[in-house]
């Protein structure tokens, strides 16, 4: 589940923000095992979790446990209490501070997000929706919109190979983004090295980049890029040995690079060795 807000009410002294962060982390770790890492990540990302509300009770005759609900409402969190289908508010009692005081900590979790994150099918559905929308943009010839669509998809589901593949494929259509296309396709291929089309498209991208003399390339020669492309096409052909178009493409590149049939057997033999 995703923690989105916390309310900490202490009997006499108000906890500092640092103290409240540690208290929340402690409760998460103690009661929701394995979630401390998620909490740390959330804090690093500067997420909604920064929304911490801390206070102390001014009147000694009141009890923190009884007042926590009023504290949530007065801090603007009434919607959390009124929407149990979307939010779950869990209350914890403990003694904190020096000297220890009665403390009540209410953690607000968002149910919908939790379901979407926990359920792999939910992610798959989201990816399908994004891919379809990206393809609709492509169909309309709106390459930039398609790129933005896939980039937003990757923001939601980072590193997803199909989104990276589609992104790279569209970026290839736009000269200033050719280098970015290589990066996207490389990530897609690294994430799924068993997908022949990923290897093939990355090879196309390397060849395109190698042939574009108007683009400056640093750190690698154009010939190296062509050699990388050859290796990728060979891998793609190994994955799809019945794909005739792919084999023709491979043969054509070998010819272009001046590789004789004998050399092919030799390199294959060398690779196996």
Q: Which ranges of 98-142 would DSSP assign to H, the alpha helix?
A: 111-118, 120-139
**Sheet with 87-96, edge to edge strand ranges:** 52-56, 2-10, 101-110, 87-96
Mark the segment that binds another protein (CB under 8 A) among 65-73, 149-157, 229-237, 247-255.
Answer: 149-157
Name residues whose C-beta falls within 8 Å of residue 178's C-beta, 6 or more positions apart in sequence: 171, 172, 205, 208, 209, 212, 215
Residue 236 to residue 253: CA distance in whole angstroms: 13
Least separation, in Å, of the C-beta of 1 and another protein? 14
For residue 20, give both structure tokens. 């409240």
What x/- string results for residues 67 through 106 when contact with another protein is judged by CB under 8 A? -----------xx--xx--x--------------------
| 41 sits near another protein (criterion: CB under 8 A) | no
Q: Which of 1, 36, 113, 239 binds another protein (CB under 8 A)?
A: 113
Whether the link from the prior residue into 257 is cis, omega within 30° of 0, is no
Q: Which of 156, 212, 248, 255 binds another protein (CB under 8 A)?
A: 156
What are residue 53's phi and psi, to 5 degrees?
-120, 125
Mark the segment that binds another protein (CB under 8 A) among 19-27, 126-134, 183-191, 212-220.
Answer: 126-134
- Residue in the structure block whose two tokens are 């990355």: 202
What x/- string results for residues 164 through 183 when contact with another protein is judged by CB under 8 A? ----------x-xx--x---
| Residues engaged in binding another protein (CB under 8 A) | 78-79, 82-83, 86, 110, 112-113, 126, 129-130, 133, 136-137, 140, 142, 144-145, 147-149, 151-153, 155-156, 174, 176-177, 180
């Amino acid at each position: 589940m995703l923690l989105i807000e916390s309310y900490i009410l202490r009997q006499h002294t108000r906890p500092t923000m640092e103290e409240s962060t540690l208290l929340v982390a402690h409760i998460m770790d103690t009661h929701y095992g394995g979630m401390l890492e998620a909490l740390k990540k959330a804090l690093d990302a500067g997420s909604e979790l920064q929304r911490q509300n801390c206070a102390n009770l001014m009147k000694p005759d009141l009890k923190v446990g009884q007042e926590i609900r009023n504290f949530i409402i007065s801090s603007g969190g009434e919607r959390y209490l009124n929407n149990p289908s979307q939010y779950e508010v869990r209350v914890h009692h403990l003694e904190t501070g020096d000297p220890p005081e009665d403390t009540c900590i209410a953690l607000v979790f968002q149910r919908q997000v939790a379901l979407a994150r926990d359920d792999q099918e939910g992610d798959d559905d989201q990816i399908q929706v994004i891919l379809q929308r990206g393809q609709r943009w492509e169909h309309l010839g709106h390459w930039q919109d398609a790129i933005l669509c896939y980039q937003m998809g990757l923001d939601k589901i980072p590193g997803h190979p199909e989104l990276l593949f589609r992104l790279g494929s569209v970026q290839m259509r736009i000269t200033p983004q050719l280098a970015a296309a290589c990066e996207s396709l490389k990530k897609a291929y690294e994430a799924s090295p068993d997908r022949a089309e990923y290897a093939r498209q990355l090879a196309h991208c390397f060849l395109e980049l190698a042939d574009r003399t108007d683009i400056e390339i640093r750190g690698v020669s154009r010939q190296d890029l062509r050699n990388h492309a050859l290796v990728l096409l060979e891998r793609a052909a190994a994955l799809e040995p019945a794909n005739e178009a792919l084999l023709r493409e491979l043969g054509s590149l070998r010819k272009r690079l001046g590789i004789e049939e004998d050399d092919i057997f030799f390199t294959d033999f060398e690779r196996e060795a």
